[in-house]
Every structure is written in structure tokens, then in C-alpha cells.
Amino acid sequence: MPLPETFLKKSSQELVEIAWDVSPQDAIGLDRLLRHRQALAEQQGVEALVAATKQLVGATEWLGKVTRWLVIVTAILGASAAIDVGLKIWKGAH
């Protein structure tokens, strides 16, 4: 037997309170409805978590690229400074 429309419009808390005063068949239907609502809520939570994780991965990849460029630039500046010091020492020796 399908649940009455009034049950579908009620909050989960109201359904729990109603479940004590209905027939066993209706109580089973209410239990299934509550479990379905819980599953939908969990699914929405999981979808939000997946979306947030994807954003975090994207941000981490971007930070990795920036870090690589910073390392490359730092290496170039370090090599430039080392060459400059080497040339000053070499010129000072002559």
C-alpha cells in the first residue's frame, strides 16, 4: 500500500512521532521512507565532499606548478650569483 501524500510532506521528526500510532504496514512504509531520506542526505553529503576534494586537488596542482617555477627561478638566480662571485674572484686574482 503506498504511503498517503500527507506522509511525504511531513518532516522526518514528524514521521518518527507518527510511526508510533499507525498500523505495522504503515510503520514499515514510514521506515522505508525515512531510510530513503537518510540515503538521499548521505548521497548529497558525499557529492559535496567529492566536489570539495576536486577543488582541493585542483588547487594543489596549481600550487605544485607555482612551486616548480619558483624552484627553477631560484636555481637560475643561484647559478647567476655563483657565476658573478666566480668572475669577481677570477678578476681579482689577475
Instruction: Say how far apart CA 39 and CA 13 lie, in whole Å.
Output: 16
Residues 6+ positions from 37 with CB-CB distance below 8 Å: 12
Give this prediction's pTM. 0.56
Give the separation between CA 63 and CA 72, rounded to whole angstroms.
14
pLDDT of residue 88: 92
Give the chain's radius of gyration (CA, Å): 33
pLDDT tens-place string over residues 55-87: 999 999 999 999 999 999 999 999 999 999 999
16 has pLDDT over 90: no
pLDDT at 15: 83
- So what's the pLDDT on residue 19? 81
pLDDT in tens, 28-54: 888 888 999 999 999 999 999 999 999
pLDDT of residue 50: 97
